[in-house]
Amino acid sequence: MILFETFKIATGSIWSNKLRSGLTMLGLIIGIFSVVVITTLGNAAQADMTSAFHKYGKGKLNMNLLFNGDRPVTYRDYFSPEDIEAINLQDEIVAVSPQLRRWMTLEYEGKEIQIDMMGVNENYDQVETIELISGRFLNEQDIVGRRNAIVIDERTARSLFGSIECVGEIVTITNSANTMEMIVVGVDKMSDSALLNMAQGDYSYGFMPLTVASRYQENDRYPRFMIQAIEESDLNNVGERILNLLERRNKDREIYRIFTRESEFNQISTVIGILTTIIGGIAAISLAVGGIGIMNIMLVSVTERTREIGIRKALGARRGIILLQFLVEAVILSVLGGTMGLTLGTLTSLAIVKAFGLSLVISVKSILLAFVFSVVVGVVFGVYPANKASKLDPIDALRYE
The model's pLDDT over 118-169, given as tens digits with 9 standing for 90+, comes to 999 999 999 988 889 999 999 999 999 999 999 999 999 999 998 889 999 9
Do 112 and 38 sit in the same domain of this protein? no
Do 124 and 207 sit in the same domain of this protein? yes
Residues 6+ apart with CB under 8 A from 309: 302, 322, 389, 392, 394, 397
Average pLDDT in the 244-249 region? 90
Judge whether 75 lies within some domain.
no
Q: Is 129 helix (H, G, I), strand (E, B) or coil?
A: coil
Judge whether 62 lies within some domain.
no
Closest-CA residue to 40 (of 262, 392, 345): 345
Look at residue 62 and tell me whether its pLDDT is greater than 60. yes
236-250, 261-275, 371-385, range with greatest mean pLDDT: 236-250
Residues 6+ apart with CB under 8 A from 71: 255
Strand residues in 74-160 grouped as ranges (E)? 93-98, 100-108, 111-120, 132-135, 149-153
- How many structural domains comprise the chain? 2
pTM: 0.73
Q: Is 226 helix (H, G, I), strand (E, B) or coil?
A: strand
pLDDT in tens, 158-200: 999 988 899 999 999 988 778 899 999 999 998 877 777 776 7
DSSP secondary structure code for residue 358 in this structure: P
Q: How many CB atoms lie within 10 A of CB 17?
A: 16
d(CA 17, CA 30): 20
Q: Are 224 and 39 in contact (CB under 8 A)?
A: no
Look at residue 392 and tell me whether its pLDDT is greater than 80. no
Average pLDDT in the 375-396 region? 64
Do 185 and 116 sit in the same domain of this protein? yes
Q: What pLDDT score does 304 carry?
A: 63
Residue that wins the pLDDT comparison between 237 and 327: 237
Average pLDDT, the chain: 80
Judge whether 194 lies within some domain.
yes
Average pLDDT in the 351-369 region? 77
Do 217 and 271 sit in the same domain of this protein? no
Look at residue 329 and tell me whether its pLDDT is greater than 90. no
- For residue 328, what are the domain limits? 2-53+267-399
Q: What pLDDT score does 373 carry?
A: 72
The DSSP string of 173-207 is: EEETTEEEEEEEEEEEPPPS-HHHHHHHTT--EEE
d(CA 347, CA 387): 37
What's the half-sphere exposure (Cβ side, CA atoms, 13 Å) at 200?
18
Residue that wins the pLDDT comparison between 222 and 378: 222
